[in-house]
Chain A
Amino acid sequence: MDRLEKDIQKRLDNYEVEPPAELWSSIENRLDEKAYARAGIRRKRMTAVAAAALLFLLSASALLLNQLGVPVEPIAQETTPTTSQPAAPEAPDSQSSSTEATAAVSSTDTQRELPITTSTFTPQKSQALVALKENKEQPGTLDFREQPMIADVAIRSALPSFSAETASLVAENHELAAAQIQLPGNLEAAGKEEISNRMDFALANADQAGNSSFSLATFFAPQQSYRYQNRNTPNPMQALESEIMTFAAGLHVNYKVNNRWEIQSGLGYNRMGQRVNDIATFSHPSMMALYSKDGASINEHPQSMSTSMGGIVFTDQSLYFADISSSRIITLKGSYDESIVNLLNKTGTGLIQHFEYLEMPVNARYKFWQKGFDIYAKAGLSANYLLSANVFLPEQIQSTPIGTVVGINKLNFSGMAGLAISYPVTNRVSLNLEPTASMFLTPMGNVRNLTRETHPYSWSVLMGVSYSL
């Protein structure tokens, strides 16, 4: 670099030019337009996410209900009135509460998306910031204290009204807070107070929005439930059993350790289970003697059977059970009664085992993505207390069980891992979507060669809302 270059570089390097005062108004206007546009985009995105979540919830619920409640003659006809009637009066209420919830979210969102008004930052007020430049008496202060335009950026970024994300920005960057106490002493009193008040306001809002340690989250999770068997010998029940759709629901409490890590606990209801196929169940009103297809008399119909998820004991003595897979198709002696065969076919042939657990998890969540929405990796352990273990006919899931399952441990422990996607709707409220896999770490029961080697597992998608306290 020659002398000319050095001289010009030296003279212009630290030379600042004051922009025309009216230029700030133009910038204000453009930023306001951007804020409005951004608010519109955010509202559209939020609506799309909410609609998608609702659609998913409805689809999952419909699928779940379809799996659990397909009416089948003739038993379904008897139970239809008791299962369908209570639902009707609830419809208007749920619709009403849904409308109220939508209105509440909409109202909160409107409040959150207030754009910058020209009263929050005017050229006159920026004169106070210009005074910052004049003060060269205190060395070692932050860059933006010496540069009025950068100070503008810092203070603007601290304004919660500028955008929804600024509060967290302030919370994570303590340099902004430090700027407040480094304002020069000779700054015009009014200007100093203005800046100070705005920083206080921003930091107070940041405390509310970003520094809250606890949050509450409710969730509902449709899930596919089945079991894993840790055994070397072939499972005699393998061919008869299959997975089913169940659900879990509950309340979680999250504790924010720092910006990345969270600890989660709470209480949940978790329904696990499986379907046992090819078990024909039917009622026989005349209680006539039954015979197997080869003509042998069946004096006692089976009242218990073993499955990989415990031993089933039937408690409804009016029903008959037949293992179709072993060809023990039952009919009446002397005349092959087609109606009986048809009845067997129509019953759908199967049993549903439900295990209801009270679940108390301890999970860790690590946030690895934070751009518009948060994504966590999560893992944890749960203690699962058995509330009930019952057997239902597939078409009578919601009514009285026809049997119970024995040989199941009261207390089990399970492990869980998955992702959690959290989309902030307001500073306090977030929508959550959490694809999760969980599995019992301990065997679910104590029956040798069966439940002793059985570990239930589930694939689920937790959907819910969290509220920052």
Chain B
Amino acid sequence: MYGVCMRYAGNSFDAQDLLQDGFVKVFDNLKSFKWDGSLEGWMKRIFVNIALDKYRSRITTLSVDEMNEGEDFTDKEATALDAMSEKEILALVRQLPDQYRLVFNLYVMDGHSHNEIAKILDIGVSTSRSNLARAKTILKEKIDYQSQWIEKAI
């Protein structure tokens, strides 16, 4: 669950706050868990909801015009990503601005559609798409930067 908190939080302090708040809420609501589903899934939903409550207010709406699908993910960038550790990849995600990081986590990591994200975050579907595209662009730039160091090292 700390990994979930780390993905959604912008820094370690926030992640630790989320973990504490999440566990307190889990124990408060343990009796309501029906035991007919996954305890892990139930806990994860609680942690994600707490993270969303914390960051939802920080989301700024981007206009559709600013949406940028960006360039394709190249083999060179894929190689650079493979060379990175999970810890480094997680660090890249955490460096994303709040509004991009939330949409990226909800869409890529937790499998929500843009329609669902729009309802969860109370934003437009086009804003959700735009935020995801912007998040991916930032990630590619950082991976590109990383790949240059890999090339230099080779």
Residue of A nearest to B24 (CB): A30
Q: Which residues of A contact B120 (CB under 8 A)?
A: none
* Contacting pair B73 A150 (CB below 8 A): no
Question: Given that A8-B108, A12-B90 are known contacts, is A150 also in contact with B28, CB under 8 Å in the complex?
Answer: no
B55 at the interface (CB under 8 A from A): no
Q: How far is the CA of A147 from the CA of B87 in the complex (A)?
A: 19
Interface range for B: 35 or more
B151 at the interface (CB under 8 A from A): no
- Give the segment of B37-45, B58-66, B122-130 that binds chain A: B37-45
Q: How far is the CB of A140 from chain B (nearest CB, A)?
A: 15
- Give the segment of A13-21, A194-202, A437-445 that binds chain B: A13-21
Q: Which residues of B contact A172 (CB under 8 A)?
A: 35
Residue of A nearest to B139 (CB): A4
* Contacting pair B40 A26 (CB below 8 A): no
* Contacting pair A12 B7 (CB below 8 A): yes
Does more than half of chain A's interface fall in helix, strand or loop, or is it mixed?
helix
Question: Given that A17-B2, A26-B20, A154-B39 are known contacts, is A12 also in contact with B30, CB under 8 Å in the complex?
Answer: no
A72 at the interface (CB under 8 A from B): no
* Contacting pair B19 A169 (CB below 8 A): no
Q: How far is the CB of A295 from chain B (nearest CB, A)?
A: 81
A300 at the interface (CB under 8 A from B): no
Q: Which residues of A contact B23 (CB under 8 A)?
A: 27, 31, 153
* Contacting pair B109 A143 (CB below 8 A): no
Q: Which residues of B contact A31 (CB under 8 A)?
A: 23-24, 27
* Contacting pair B2 A149 (CB below 8 A): yes
8 Å CB contact of B24 from A34, A150, A169: A34
A354 at the interface (CB under 8 A from B): no
* Contacting pair B39 A5 (CB below 8 A): no
Interface size on A, residues (CB 8 A): 39
**Which B88-143 residues sit within 8 Å CB-CB of chain A?**
89-90, 93, 107-109, 136, 139-140
- Please encode chain A, from 155 to 199, with 1 for each CB lying within 8 Å of some chain B CB and 0 for all others: 011000010010001001101000000000000000000000000
Residue of B nearest to A154 (CB): B39
Residue of A nearest to B31 (CB): A165
Q: How far is the CB of B109 from chain A (nearest CB, A)?
A: 6
Q: Which residues of B contact A3 (CB under 8 A)?
A: 73, 78
* Contacting pair B39 A27 (CB below 8 A): no
* Contacting pair B20 A27 (CB below 8 A): yes
Q: How far is the CA of A371 from the CA of B31 in the complex (A)?
A: 9
- Please encode chain A, from 262 to 284, with 1 for each CB lying within 8 Å of some chain B CB and 0 for all others: 00000000000000000000000
Q: How far is the CA of A150 from the CA of B78 in the complex (A)?
A: 33
Q: How far is the CA of A371 from the CA of B90 in the complex (A)?
A: 41
Q: Which residues of A contact B77 (CB under 8 A)?
A: 4
28 A-B pairs whose Cβ atoms sit less than 8 Å apart in the complex = A1-B108, A2-B73, A2-B136, A3-B78, A4-B81, A7-B73, A8-B81, A8-B109, A9-B108, A11-B81, A11-B86, A12-B3, A12-B90, A12-B93, A15-B90, A17-B2, A17-B90, A19-B2, A19-B16, A23-B19, A26-B16, A27-B19, A30-B20, A143-B40, A150-B43, A153-B23, A153-B27, A172-B35
Known pairs A15-B90, A371-B31 / 17 extra A-B pairs, C-beta < 8 Å: A4-B73, A4-B77, A4-B81, A4-B140, A5-B108, A8-B108, A12-B7, A27-B19, A27-B23, A34-B24, A143-B40, A147-B40, A150-B40, A150-B43, A153-B39, A172-B35, A175-B35
